[in-house]
Structures are given as C-alpha cells and as structure tokens.
Structure 1
Amino acid sequence: MQEQRNPVQMLAHWAQTKPDAPWLFQPDDGQFKPITWAQAYAQVQRMASALRAMGLASGARVAISGLNTAHWFMADLAIAMAGYVSVGLYPKQQADHVTYILEHSESQVLFLGPMSDAEVFVAAIPPAVRTIRFPYATAPRGELDWDALVAAHPPFTAYRPPAPDELATLVYTSGTTGKPKGVMITQRNCLYATAGGLKAMPPVGTERLFCYLPLAHMFERGAVELSSLSLGAEVWFLENIDKLGEQVVQVQPTRFCGVPLVYTRMQAAILKKLPQAKLDRLLRIPLVSTLIKRKIRHGLGLSRARYVIVGAAPMPDALTHWFARLGVTILQGYGMTENSIYATCNLPGANRIGSVGREMPGAGLKISPDGEILFKSDAVMAGYYKDAEKTHEAFTSDGHLRTGDKGRIEDGYLYITGRVKDLFKTAKGKYVSPAPIESALARNPLLDQLCFVGNGLNQPIMLATLSAGGRELPRSEVESALVADLDAVNATLEPHEKIAKIVIVRDTWGIDNGMTTPTMKVKRSEVESRYRELLQREAAHRSKIGWEVGSTPQA
C-alpha cells in the first residue's frame, strides 16, 4: 500500500496549501463557527509547546475526554506533535472505568471537554493527573486552561515524525464484560487502515463529514478525524444528541456512519410523519415517488451522502431493504478496535444485504477450521497494553487476529453467524447462539433493542424495548404484530432455540443505566442480571408476549 504522510504532516500540508479554508465547524447555540486549517495548525503547534513545557518524557500518555469537539481533534494532534500517546475516554464513561483507564495507561495529563456528568467524572480522576480545560461552557474546571496555554506558548517547531511501529494511541475497548483492555494502535496501523479505507471508498469532489459517534472509539477517529486529514475535508460536529436529526440535515454530509439504532430511529421519525400505508401508496406513483424519495433523503440529511455505512451491530435486512426503497443504500461494514476497524464492508455497486461485505484491500480475511473469523494485516494492533496473556490469546500461532466471531464466506462476502463465546445454555443443556435470532426478530419496526437470554431457563426469552412508533400503538395491536413475527421466526428454528416469548421492558437500555457500551452494544450479562426476577416470573406464564410493569403502551 502506498506510503502516506501522517496526520500531523497532513495538517501542516493543508495549513500551507489552503490556510484560509474552513476545516472544523464547531456548533455553539445552534450556530456553526468555522476554524480554518491555518488556525487549527497554529493552536496545535502552541498546545504541543505547552505540553512539552510540562516536562513529560517522550511517549507519555495524555488523555482526552468529553463530547466530540474541534478541540478533541486539535488536542489529539498536539499530543502527537509533541511526541506523546493519546488516550480517549468516552462520554458518560463509568466512573470506575475512568479511574482504571487513567491509572492503567499512566496518563499524566487529561484534557477536559464538555460533558453532562462533570461532577461524577471529575471525582474519578486520580489526584496525580494534571487537567487542561477545553474552552466550552459545559467543560468542567481544570487546573489549566486551553486558551491561556495557547496564548502563553510559542509554536512548536521541532516535530519529529514517529517510526511506523511507534505507539500512536491507546484505545480502551468499551467491552461488554470486565475491565476495558488497552488496545495498542501504532502509527502503521492508523496509516494502513486510513489509506485502505479511502482506496475502497475514494473521494468524489469536496467531502463534508459529520462527527457525532464517540471519538474515543477507533471507528470515528479513522472514518472522520484521520480521513478528514487525508482528504482535506470539512468536519462538522454535533452540538448535543437531541440535535442529531436537526444538525445532520443542516450539514448534509457526503459520508455518514451510524449504528443500527440510529437508522431505526430515522425510520421511526419518517413513519411518524408519513405512516407506512400512506408511504406505500405514494411510492407506487412514479412522479410522486421520485419527489417523495428526494424529500425524505434531504429530511434525513442524506441527500449528498455517497457512502451511508452501518456497523457495530447487525442491521436487520428488512430495515436495509426499507431504506433502499427510499433510494438510500445502506452499506453494512464490520471491524473491531483490534484491527483498527479495518476488516470488511459492502460498497456501492457491490452491496450484498445480509452480509458485512467483502474484505477491505489487504485486510487479510480468513476463516479458521472451526469457523472463527480471522484477520492479518498492518492494521492489526500491536497487542493489549500491559497484558501479555490476553495478547497471546488474541492471536493464532501464525499471527492472525482472533475476532471471537463466527462466520462464512460466500462469493467473497462475509456473513457473521454468531459469537464463538456468546452461546448460552438453557436448563435443558442445549446451547443457543443469540445473535442470528435477535437479528431475525429485529426486522419488526415496533422493536428498538433486543437481547435473547436463556441461562437457566427451560426455553429462551427475548427481552426487548419498544421503538417510538411501538410506544404510540395500543397494546393489543403491538401484541398482534409481535406474535406474528415471533411465530414466523420460530418456524425457522430448532426446538431448543425457539423463542418462548417476547417480554417488553420499561426502560430503554443505554450508557446511563449500564445496559450498553458507549458504542451501543447491549451488555448481555448486565441485562440478564437486571431482569433475572422478571424472567423467572414470565417463564411461568404461557402467554407469547409479556410486559414489565410500567412499560407502554397501555392495554
């Protein structure tokens, strides 16, 4: 793969070739304020000087927290320019994980970004860690201030490009179980994944990116931050999650990425304004259909999007087909932190719904004899920080990364069939793989989140939350629709896999209540633990649909 300049060098390049062009658009009370390439480079240089003045040793760890902002990017680049290693922290990260990550990574400095849980977060910071506050109203008070440091220090001019195998960042997995693991991502990893991604999805004209998924995750870092530096693309940041629908419409990005839940909620927003029966009628009228599709795509913020990607969890095929009818081609991809999210993806003109696409250029895809998906490329991590045992377990004897996912390849397309270790055993002693069954039932638009559980039960039960549309319907109508899909899915399953019933729970699962990771993956063990008593009660009743007390809709 052709060698490329690193992110710091690319920032310098754009600052020189188009200094007055806007790069970062930071929202403030609904208004986007631009920061040019030259302005960003000047701040990065001065912050690199400020960090160096603290006397940190080469390779020292410097952490970044808070919501996605222009200063997140600039801090990351200043850390790299100064010769240090960045460590990202998720918004609303569990307090014990904040403490653990900062201590485990030996971070000496922490940038404090805007956040809604400032008091809890600050209390979790070890006393020895120095703090620098970003200039935002909702950023917690720090020992030092970004603007003051930038004003007080000269530009850093002694930048030394790192060697390919030097550590670029520590990315702590959001993990559904146990303590986060520090994934060691090297300079080579970053460059290889970025170059390969842009080779598979080349730019066409001016690119505009929308930054809203957590920057602590490798996916957003690669797909938005690193890609913007390679492409010279604009980046527009989300102000807060409540404004997602509004601001993506304002931005109209050329590339858009989301988890399945984002697309489920987009669908719900459309159907709230235009019920399915009426939508179907309009789509059958040729001229009206064209106008409706164009209006919907613009209303979603996807009128200019050449690449609309979904990842992190399986996207229901029915939902992908539903968007395709509207002229929105959603491309399912696959990757993990350990391979820099560089694995497989469907592409325009080569989109096999139900699969996670073909191998990205040079990703090194392979299926082991027992069906596990493996990868080997320059995008694969150096290992887990301070954990030789888990690093050894993560690789095969010939150096392939174990994903923990099972899959098969058909016509070059990868299909994920389950998790190697995600099986559960029912009270009958039978093993069940939950992911394919969850995916099959997720086609029902009345359901939002699903978790199939069965440890200790005679027959597995599907726990689920309702979508916004589902919560607005009468209970009898919801039950009728769910029973129909339940019976249809069960008809395809072995007797021990069949869903005994669907139980609708009251609360949406999220980061706040500990039910999902920051990347919206459901923590199966947490869900199972929280609803243990409910599961036992519902298992004793023969009805096909159960309701937690207080869940909606009402009968």
Structure 2
Amino acid sequence: MNKLYHLAEYPQRLRTRFAHKTIIRYYDALKSVWLSLNGEEVADKCLDAAKALAREGIKPGDRVGIYSPNAVHGVMAEFGLYMMRGVSVPLYATSTPEQVDFIVSDAELKLMFVGEQFQYNNAFEVQQRSNTLERIIIFDDNVVLHPEDKTSMYYDEFIRRGDSKTNENKANVTASQALSNDMALIIYTSGTSGRSKGVVLRHSNFMKQIEVHEKLFRFVTPKDVSMSFLPHSHIFEKTWVYFCLYMGCTTAILKDPKRILQALPEIKPTMMCNVPRFWEKVYAGVQDKISQASPLQQKILRHAISIGERYQLHYYNEGKRAPLHVSLLYKLYKNTLFTKLKRVLGLQRGRFFPVAGASLSVEVNRFLQSVSIPICFGYGLSESTATVSFCPLQGFKIDSVGEILEHVQVRIDPATNEIQLKGPTIITEYYNNPEANATSFTADGFFRTGDAGRLEGRVLYFTERIKDLFKTANGKYIAPQMLEGLLATDPIFEQVAIIGDGYKFVSALIYPNWEILRKEAKDRGVDTERSEEELAKDYEVYRLMMAHIEHALGSVAQYEKIKHFTLLSTPFTIESGELTSTLKIKRSVVAKKYAEQIAKMYEEANIRTVEPQ
C-alpha cells in the first residue's frame, strides 16, 4: 500500500519501505556525536511508545501534551500516540507556567511528555493545581525530580513498563481502527495578542497536504537530508517533518537551535525549512563582510551578485536563455564565490529551502536567488495545515507569496482585503472555543485569516496582518512589517518595532547590532568606551543611525518614514514576552512595556497628539 490516510500508518510504512535506510539522525550532546536510526528502528520505537501509552490507559481522543525542545523521543511518542488514536498537543519549549496551565486546563491533558529541567519544573508546578494532569513523562534522564513528586517517570522506564504482548496487541488493534477524520493535533497559537486558540487539525488535513506535496516536489527523494531545527510545535516544521518521513528522507533533529550554524556543516543538508529571520541574518552577515573588503574585492563581489541576479531572475526564472557571456560568468561565480559562501554555511549540498512564517523582503529574496541558494518562499498558517501557496523554483513572482495550491480555495474580501480560505487542509473549528468559531468563519464556511492581500490569477500577494496595520493621527495607514522588513536588510538593525498608532508620525524602537554600531561610531570619532545606554544617547550615534534608516527606507512614502527612534540596550526575546515563539513582535506587549520610552520620543518632538490605541 502506497497511499496512507492516517499518521498511525507511518511506522509500518517506515518498516516496509525504508527498513535499513537511515531515517532519523539526532545529536548526542554527551558523546558529541550524531547518532542514526533506520526505518525499522524508528518503527520499533514508535510501537514501544504506543505500548507504553496503552498501559497508561490512553484511549482514542485523549489529549496528550508534548512540552520539549526538539527530541527524537518526542517524534516516537507522537507517532505512538497516533497509533493509539490519541491527540497530540505540542507546546513550545519556552512556554511559561501560565501558558502551560492554560493549555493543560483547556485541552484537559491527561498526560504530558516534557524535555528538560525547565519544562519539568513548569509542568510539575502546573500539575499541583490541575484536575486532569495525572502523569509527567521525562525525556532527559538528567532531570532532577521534585522531592514530593510521586507520579512522574523517565521515558526509558515508561517504555519498559509498557513492554508486554497485551499492550502490543492493543496498540496494533487500535491503530488498525484509525479513521481519517480522527483529531490528530491541537496546536495552540502563540498569537501576538489575546487568548491562545487551539487549532484542531485532523489526520485527513495532513494526509491531503502530504499527497499534494508529493506531486509538487517530485524531485525530493530518499537520498535527501533535511535539517530539522525549527520547533516541532511549529506547524511549518511539523508538517515538513511528516513529509520528509513519508518520502523516506533522512531527518536530522537538532535539539538546540543555537547550534544551527555549527550543525549545518556537520550534516550538510540538502533541504531545510526555515523562517525569514535566519536568511535575513545570512544576508546581513554577507553585506557586512562585503563592506569590510578591499575596494577591488567589493567590486568583484558586487559584480558576482549582479551577474547572479541577471542569470537567475532575468533569464532562468523567466524561462529564457541567457546570453553566453552571462552564462559563463554565472557558472564561474557559482563554482567559486557562491560555492564558497554556501560551504561556510554548510549549505553546499542544498537543493531546496522552504521559507515561511513571516514576511521576507524582496531584497533578501533577490540576494539569495542571485547567489544560488534555492529558497522557496510561501504562505501558510496553523489553520491551513501549513502551505496555502508557495513560489516554484522557476517562474515565480519575487514580490509574491507564490501560487495557491490547487485544492485550496482563496478569495479576497472586497471590504477589508482579507485573505479567506476553504478546502480539505483548512480547519473547520477551534478547540473548545465557540467565541472564536463564531468570528473566525464566514457564513459560507471560509476561514478568516486576518491577513490582508491580493490575487492575480492564482498568484497570492501578502500585504500585512490586518490587526498590525495602524493609522497615524493624520489618517495614513502604515504597514509595520513592511518597514521592519526593509530595515532588516541592513546588518546594523538587529530588531525593530515600528510605532505610530494614533501619532502624527512613525517612530521606532531599535535594538541595533552593537558591534557594528560601535565600529562605525568609532570611525566617526565617537568615544565608544562607554556603555550601550550612554551610546544610545549620543547625538552623533543618533545621526549615524538615522543615515542608515534613510538609506533603508528610501523607497517608501514620506509619511511612512521614521522620524524619531530610541535605541535599546537589550533585545526583544520570547522569554521576556515581547516575541511570539515564531519570533513575531507582540506589539501590544512592546507598547505597554516601553510606554515611557515611546511617550518620551513624541514629547521630545513636541507633536504628540493622542494616546495610542
């Protein structure tokens, strides 16, 4: 049987089709080595998890949490849960006790897998006041249990306790009874504001997405190696991992995303899905290196990028034959400078890099295409089981989010320009949330994305999150993500939050790359042997940064330009609550936390009008 209709069938597929092929690699930090599992070993471990869950009394429809950094045990536990027709509820590893408490209560979690000490401590704290959470299973055997904890157990013990023929029979029988409309996951949106919503995804949603992607990405083969370092609680990474496992690709699971630049040269992946922020940092790093090169080297590097852009975007992407001299120069640069760049990053074998999760500036996209890094930018949401549209490797519109998948209906609301969706991969409900269900769907069943956009045939263009759009006191609409994306192309801007709702002009909170800023300031005669707080107040530093802002925003309308800004000495982080788990800015949190600095910017300009909404 080739076609599957339930994720519970994955282990058997791995056993029969890829028994002796490496399917998963994972890093052992204690031994500092990457370990491998073949298809049969993965299938055995999934069955082990299912048997242990059977012993715990997990029944079809029971919700089980997975609160951990990326872990090989997490993958096995999830597929074991699917075999038992249970529902996986992934939590971001950075979730706070308050966030965990909400999800445990809302989803009525009976059991939770946790990764490391941080997750265990938070989960145990929540368990003490929970009426539903009966047991915590711990992946990392280095975790120290609370002295009063009498119910938790380590994963290895959990597996040993389930090892019986009775539990095996129960797991296999339950898996054989699985139905395509079984609930598979409840993914709670991190959200930039408001209450988290539980996105209900069914096995039919995933299997349709896998079926469609198998046809679209025929070039993906079992020889491919995919680096998996985005959180497995992120719908983009989760769906991509499912696709790679289905295709028999090797998936390298990275627990610590901070090791990504070290891990890439070790794994040398052919594929990797990622968010725009990663590629923005690559772009900024290259631009910084170019600026430090000699005039001759700068000329050569910029010429190489220019040739790459002409060949890739003006000819290849348009299906045209490039002039001979352009082809020869591109081949020369591709085999020298571009290959060297990719080798430094560990991407020299890269064939396909899907990118989604946030806006990607055209400039960064153009650069990556020019230096022969084959990214594939797309658009999707948790509510759409990831992909709604994506740019093909040839024939794409660089300022779009790609061509809509054939099975998805997309329309644009004429009143608000909202993108609305319907189809077999689009959700029909949020879990335990009648209020959200009443407002999130149209009368004829289309899902309201909250994103603004436009259509040209089947090509989709994303404008902005509707709730992120704001109006200045002068009545002008501002798209903050667009401005932040333009600034991100300059390596001196590490993080930017655009401000201006209800004010006469646009301002910004900026966390700069202090290393670059100090170097440029020193070159301009500024005393840089001072703290970042002191440098942030220096007038010459202010002028320097304003020059960068003017250059980056040279293409926008006058009313969209930043007139004032404040430099920050600490970055926005997930832990401090200013970023979502997908690295989007929580604008309401930022506005509240930095209210004093924001007020001061407008007071200094002496033209503040009304309080921001």
Query: What is the TM-score normalised by the length of structure 2?
Result: 0.82
**CA RMSD, Structure 1 to Structure 2 (Å):** 2.6
Q: Contact 2:138 / 2:154 at 8 angstroms: preserved in 1? A: yes
The equivalent residue for 1:59 is 61
Q: Contact 1:282 / 1:292 at 8 angstroms: preserved in 2? A: no
The equivalent residue for 1:547 is none
Q: Residue 407 of structure 1: SS of its match in structure 2?
A: strand
Tell me by how many angstroms 1:91 deviates.
Answer: 1.0
Q: Residue 391 of structure 1: SS of its match in structure 2?
A: helix
Q: 1:149 to 1:464 in 2, by over 3 A?
A: same
- Return 5+ residue gaps in structure 1 as ranges: 544-555
Q: Which stretch of structure 1 is more off in the superposition, 154-163 or 245-254?
A: 154-163
Q: 146, 151, 161: which is aligned to 2:155?
A: 146
Q: Contact 2:389 / 2:404 at 8 angstroms: preserved in 1? A: yes
| 2:402 is aligned with 1:336 | no
Name the structure with the higher helix share: 2
Q: Contact 1:11 / 1:229 at 8 angstroms: preserved in 2? A: no
Q: Residue 501 of structure 1: SS of its match in structure 2?
A: strand
| 2:566 is aligned with 1:499 | no
Counterparts in 2 of 1:19-34, with a 5 A limit?
19-29=19-29, 30-34=32-36
Q: 1:35 to 1:290 in 2, by over 3 A?
A: closer
The equivalent residue for 2:227 is 210
| 2:90 is aligned with 1:88 | yes
Q: Deviations over 1:379-417 (max 9, x none)?
A: 011311111221121112221111111111235422212
Q: 143, 150, 157: which is aligned to 2:172?
A: 157
Tell me by how many angstroms 1:276 deviates.
Answer: 5.8
Q: Which stretch of structure 1 is more off in the superposition, 84-93 or 23-32?
A: 23-32
Q: How many residues align?
A: 541
Tell me by how many angstroms 1:430 deviates.
Answer: 4.8
Q: Deviations over 1:36-58 (max 9, x none)?
A: 22222222212212212222332
AA aligned to 2:399 is G
| 2:499 is aligned with 1:453 | yes
Q: Contact 1:343 / 1:359 at 8 angstroms: preserved in 2? A: yes
- Return 5+ residue gaps in structure 2 as ranges: 305-328, 525-539, 607-613
Structure-1 separation of matches of 2:604 and 2:236: 43
The equivalent residue for 2:195 is 179
AA aligned to 2:76 is M
Structure-2 separation of matches of 1:294 and 1:304: 9
AA aligned to 2:252 is W
The equivalent residue for 2:78 is 76
Q: 1:495 to 1:123 in 2, by over 3 A?
A: same
Structure-2 separation of matches of 1:490 and 1:482: 12
The equivalent residue for 1:527 is 590
Counterparts in 2 of 1:89-108, with a 5 A limit?
89-108=91-110
Tell me by how many angstroms 1:138 deviates.
Answer: 5.3
Tell me by how many angstroms 1:365 deviates.
Answer: 1.9
Q: 1:494 to 1:140 in 2, by over 3 A?
A: farther
AA aligned to 1:405 is D
Q: Contact 2:220 / 2:247 at 8 angstroms: preserved in 1? A: no
Q: Contact 2:25 / 2:36 at 8 angstroms: preserved in 1? A: yes
Q: 1:135 to 1:437 in 2, by over 3 A?
A: closer
Structure-2 separation of matches of 1:149 and 1:487: 59
Q: Residue 423 of structure 2: SS of its match in structure 1?
A: coil
AA aligned to 1:103 is S
Whose Rg is larger? 2
AA aligned to 1:64 is I
Q: Deviations over 1:342-376 (max 9, x none)?
A: 21111200332221111123122221212111111
The equivalent residue for 2:413 is 368
Tell me by how many angstroms 1:31 deviates.
Answer: 0.8
The equivalent residue for 2:342 is 297
Q: 1:440 to 1:270 in 2, by over 3 A?
A: closer
Q: 183, 198, 207: which is aligned to 1:191?
A: 207
Q: Contact 1:25 / 1:32 at 8 angstroms: preserved in 2? A: yes
Tell me by how many angstroms 1:274 deviates.
Answer: 5.6
Q: 1:17 to 1:332 in 2, by over 3 A?
A: closer
Structure-1 separation of matches of 2:447 and 2:513: 36
AA aligned to 1:13 is R
Q: Which stretch of structure 1 is more off in the superposition, 413-422 or 266-275?
A: 266-275
Structure-1 separation of matches of 2:488 and 2:567: 13
The equivalent residue for 1:548 is none
Q: Which stretch of structure 1 is more off in the superposition, 114-123 or 387-396?
A: 114-123
Q: Contact 1:272 / 1:469 at 8 angstroms: preserved in 2? A: no
Q: Deviations over 1:228-255 (max 9, x none)?
A: 2210111111142331101022112222
The equivalent residue for 1:229 is 245
Q: Deviations over 1:490-530 (max 9, x none)?
A: 66555654422233222211211111111111111111111
Q: Which stretch of structure 1 is more off in the superposition, 322-331 or 351-360?
A: 322-331
Structure-1 separation of matches of 2:226 and 2:67: 21
AA aligned to 1:344 is S
Q: 292, 299, 304: which is aligned to 1:281?
A: 299
Counterparts in 2 of 1:303-382, with a 5 A limit?
303-370=348-415, 371-382=417-428
Counterparts in 2 of 1:384-395, with a 5 A limit?
384-395=430-441
Give % identity: 25
Q: 1:120 to 1:9 in 2, by over 3 A?
A: closer
The equivalent residue for 1:238 is 254
Structure-2 separation of matches of 1:124 and 1:10: 33
The equivalent residue for 1:515 is 578
Q: Which stretch of structure 1 is more off in the superposition, 490-499 or 90-99?
A: 490-499
AA aligned to 1:184 is V
Q: 1:479 to 1:360 in 2, by over 3 A?
A: farther
Structure-2 separation of matches of 1:198 and 1:292: 33
The equivalent residue for 1:18 is 18
Structure-2 separation of matches of 1:493 and 1:235: 42
Structure-1 separation of matches of 2:70 and 2:271: 17
Q: Deviations over 1:141-199 (max 9, x none)?
A: 77122212322323332123422222111111111112211011011111112222332
AA aligned to 1:523 is K
Q: 1:272 to 1:468 in 2, by over 3 A?
A: farther
AA aligned to 1:396 is T
Q: Residue 344 of structure 1: SS of its match in structure 2?
A: strand
Structure-1 separation of matches of 2:460 and 2:292: 32
Q: Residue 343 of structure 1: SS of its match in structure 2?
A: strand
Q: Deviations over 1:107-145 (max 9, x none)?
A: 100011136564345323454421111145358677122
